[in-house]
Amino acid sequence: MNYFQIKFPLISNILWTHIRNIYSILLEVLQFYLVFILLFQTFRILIYVNYPDLFTNLQFFEFIQSIFLGLRFDLSSISAILFIPIVFYIIPFNFSNSLMYRRIISSIIYIQLCATTIFLTADFFYFSFVKRHITNEVLFLLNDSKYLMSEVASHIGLLITYCVLFLVFYFFFIRKTAPITHHGKRSIPAFIIIILSMITIGRGGIQIKPIAIIDAYQHGSANLGHLILNGFFTASHYSFAGNFIERPKIDETFALNIIDLPKTNNPQYPLEKNYTKKETEKKKNVVVIIVESLTYKYIDYLNKGKKYGVTPNIDKIASEGLIFSNFFANGQRSIEGAQAILTGIPPLPGIPDIISLSVNYSRLGELAKANHYRTIFVTSTLKESFSLDLMVYASGIEEYYGREDYNLLLNYPEARERTLGWDYETFMLLSDKLSGHGQPFIAFVNASSDHTPFPRMQEPFTKYTHGQESEGGYLNMLHYTDWAIGEFMAKMSKQEYFNDTVFIITADHALAHFQADDPYGKFKIPLILYSPKHIPKGNSERFASQIDIIPSMIDILNLEGKFSNIGTSIFAPSDNFAITKEGSLLNIFAKEGFLQLSLQQVLKFIPSQNTEDENLKNELSEKIQAFDQLTYQLLTENRWAHPNK
């Protein structure tokens, strides 16, 4: 006996009793987890073995990596499946120790195990059709009982075999998981510890954001991501990601013609473009500056109306650069803007955002790396904010920095440690990271200081009456961000690569707080290209949106390789349009005017010539539907991009 046991025998006995109980109950719960882990890993291996054409580019080490990385997603799924029955199984009441009660709960868990087996089997077969796990198709099947029963009938032999095996193994499962002899007396400490552990495992850890589908795609290729995931995880996350709206099937050649995209040599992946180098020249660089809520009307040089006097540096850059006066955000949220800019996939109603989207899509970082470019992304926010880290890694960008990586350089009067961070320090961090490297680069900077709540600023950023949610508060913050951009440009101008760098200034979305019911005001954002050596200054009235940035960058940098994108380069000679998501509605902006669609009917049409024209209305409606249905079709069939590209 140790000193503690001699001095405090009663306390010692109670403590050790609790520890033994916790250990015994933990072993009981762990046995359920182990059975489910074996099930999920078995189907992961079956997918790898039975679809070798998808995984030819994966090394054996990467397959082993998928086993371990997939365990995190499996454990999250298992915790979701088992949470309610485990709560009842270990609830700290006397009746929960009885044999009959434990066997009832074990039987419920066994039914869950059988249902999960059937679901993963369906996912295994479905994988062969679209080369990914099942997602929102579950919702459509539940709403189409006839089709569901036809699928069951086509596999009736396998279903009967499963039922026989389930009956055979049931008694073995019950004897092992709920034996007659029982040592783990239920206790409150054990209940609390296990439930908290399951919640932590279910969300994938203690990080800020819970685990998401996109986490699987930051480790390598799309196919490795598919292998890391499991069908239950993708279906459950996809199902809770939004309200899904099924579209009618569309003829893809017709749709491509309507939205004026070039015909492809690969009809299986109609958005795939093969970019070739047009000429040999010194490589250029690109810096994309994404400013939080940077709205067209607040930039004096762009706005023909009221002057706000808070953007002198952006005004100067715009006066010497190429302006696109009809440029629009594809959505109204930061995550939608980041998705459009980094992946080229437009946010649309009834389709989950990139965080929950399990499809193959082209990765800018991989294309850049193949062309010997360095890729870097710096955000003012914490790296996990807005799930930006997931999108950055999934787009293949190699270096990522955030609020955790810079110290404050200014003496801010309020909210010094705000998670949204500070733009000046962010720009200085990017400048420091770029200096001293000879490799050409593609850099992104996400400046989010202008996000609500607006902190009170020091002079000279106090021109307007401060308010945490007011327009004055925003304008003061915009004044600060504009100054930070000016300091960044001044510092960059001293670098030898400055003249060969193209700076692109835009926003994640427009500022919604202070806009009237004007569709243009809700979505119109600046697009300014600045590079006096390479980009002639001017003003383009071409309509474009954030999904057009990647193909434009490919043109600017003269990159070579294949990339799938539904956007078009802003330098293309053809007319274009911008399609934006407004909640469950779709908008189209074009030279013909504005049209809003509910996916079923036209809700609003504002012609540019102020004369109602039914033909123009029908043309815009046809164009927006072709764009929407083609996007939906290619994403749900996993044909947005080739799985090995």
Structural domain contains residue 621:
no
Structural domain contains residue 294:
yes
Structural domain contains residue 598:
no
- Taken as a whole, the chain contains a residue count of 645
Structural domain contains residue 640:
no
Check residue 516 and give its pLDDT: 64
Both tokens of residue 99? 């044999």
3-state DSSP call for residue 152? helix
Confidence of residue 471 (pLDDT cuts 50, 70, 90): very high
* Tally of domains in the chain: 2
Q: Bridge-partner residues for 505, per DSSP?
A: 289, 528
Check residue 241 and give its pLDDT: 57
Nearest to 355 by CA among 383, 392, 396, 403: 392
Structural domain contains residue 154:
yes
The region of weakest confidence among 55-69, 206-220, 329-343, 564-578 is 206-220
Q: Determine the Cα–Cα distance for residues 295 and 510; give it in Å rounded to an integer.
A: 5
3-state DSSP call for residue 286? strand
Residues 474 and 369 in one domain: yes
Residues 213 and 306 in one domain: no
3-state DSSP call for residue 244? coil
Residues 217 and 318 in one domain: no
**Three-class SS string for 302-350?**
CCCCCCCCCCHHHHHHHHCCEEEEEEECCCCCHHHHHHHHHHCCCCCCC
Residues 209 and 328 in one domain: no
Check residue 574 and give its pLDDT: 79
Structural domain contains residue 198:
yes
Confidence of residue 117 (pLDDT cuts 50, 70, 90): very high
For residue 197, CA distances in Å to 76, 92, 183, 192 come to: 11, 17, 21, 8
Q: Determine the Cα–Cα distance for residues 159 and 311; give it in Å rounded to an integer.
A: 67
Structural domain contains residue 148:
yes
Please name the residues in contact with 299: beta carbons below 8 A apart, sequence gap of 6 or more. Answer: 311, 314, 315, 318, 526
Confidence of residue 8 (pLDDT cuts 50, 70, 90): low
Structural domain contains residue 280:
no
Q: Give residue-wise pLDDT tens across range 32-66.
A: 999 999 999 999 999 999 988 778 878 888 899 99
User: When comparing pLDDT for 512 and 270, which is higher?
Assistant: 270
Q: Are 285 and 437 in contact (CB under 8 A)?
A: no
Q: Determine the Cα–Cα distance for residues 475 and 462; give it in Å rounded to an integer.
A: 9
Residues 355 and 411 in one domain: yes
Query: Per DSSP, which regions of 546-608 are E strands?
Result: 561-564, 578-582, 585-590, 593-597, 602-607
Q: Determine the Cα–Cα distance for residues 167 and 172; give it in Å rounded to an integer.
A: 10
Confidence of residue 6 (pLDDT cuts 50, 70, 90): low
Check residue 602 and give its pLDDT: 84
Residues 439 and 341 in one domain: yes
Q: Give residue-wise pLDDT tens across range 440-470.
A: 999 999 999 999 889 999 999 999 999 988 9
Q: Are 598 and 584 in contact (CB under 8 A)?
A: yes
Q: Determine the Cα–Cα distance for residues 434 and 440; give it in Å rounded to an integer.
A: 10
Please name the residues in contact with 430: beta carbons below 8 A apart, sequence gap of 6 or more. Answer: 287, 376, 378, 401, 443, 445, 488
Q: Is the pLDDT of residue 2 over 60?
A: no
Residues 163 and 49 in one domain: yes
Nearest to 238 by CA among 75, 387, 138, 356: 356
Q: What is the DSSP string of 493-538?
A: TTSTTGGGEEEEEEESS---TT--S-HHHHHB---EEE-TTTS--E
The region of weakest confidence among 83-92, 177-186, 631-640 is 177-186
Q: Which domain holds residue 527?
A: 287-571
Check residue 150 and give its pLDDT: 62
The region of weakest confidence among 211-220, 385-394, 594-603 is 211-220
Check residue 232 and give its pLDDT: 94
User: When comparing pLDDT for 417 and 599, which is higher?
Assistant: 417
Percentage of the chain modeled with pLDDT above 90: 62
Q: Bridge-partner residues for 444, per DSSP?
A: 288, 377
Q: Give residue-wise pLDDT tens across range 149-161.
A: 766 777 788 889 9
Phi, psi of 635 (to 5 degrees): -70, -45
Residues 358 and 233 in one domain: no
Of the residues 222, 239, 256, the one at which a domain ends: 239
Q: Give residue-wise pLDDT tens across range 223-273.
A: 888 899 999 998 888 766 555 578 899 999 999 999 998 877 888 999 999
Could you check whether the bond before residue 248 is cis, i.e. omega within 30 degrees of 0?
no
Residues 231 and 363 in one domain: no
Confidence of residue 136 (pLDDT cuts 50, 70, 90): low
Nearest to 203 by CA among 212, 195, 213: 212
Both tokens of residue 264? 């492809």
What pTM, to 2 d.p., does this model score?
0.79
Of the residues 213, 239, 265, the one at which a domain ends: 239
Nearest to 355 by CA among 525, 249, 457, 241: 241
Please name the residues in contact with 130: beta carbons below 8 A apart, sequence gap of 6 or more. Answer: 636, 637, 638
Q: What is the mean pLDDT of the chain?
A: 89
Average pLDDT over residues 140-155: 66
Residues 229 and 291 in one domain: no
Percentage of the chain modeled with pLDDT above 70: 91
User: When comparing pLDDT for 514 and 88, which is higher?
Assistant: 88
Please name the residues in contact with 454: beta carbons below 8 A apart, sequence gap of 6 or more. Answer: 466, 467, 468, 469, 470, 473, 474, 476, 477
Alpha helices per DSSP H over 231-292: 231-239, 252-258
Of the residues 550, 571, 592, the one at which a domain ends: 571
Confidence of residue 207 (pLDDT cuts 50, 70, 90): confident
Check residue 625 and give its pLDDT: 96
Average pLDDT over residues 188-216: 89
Q: Determine the Cα–Cα distance for residues 254 and 273; give it in Å rounded to an integer.
A: 18
What CATH number has the domain bearing residue 291? 3.40.720.10
Residues 227 and 367 in one domain: no
Residues 173 and 305 in one domain: no
Q: 293: alpha, beta or left, given left = phi > 0 and alpha = psi -120 to 50?
A: left
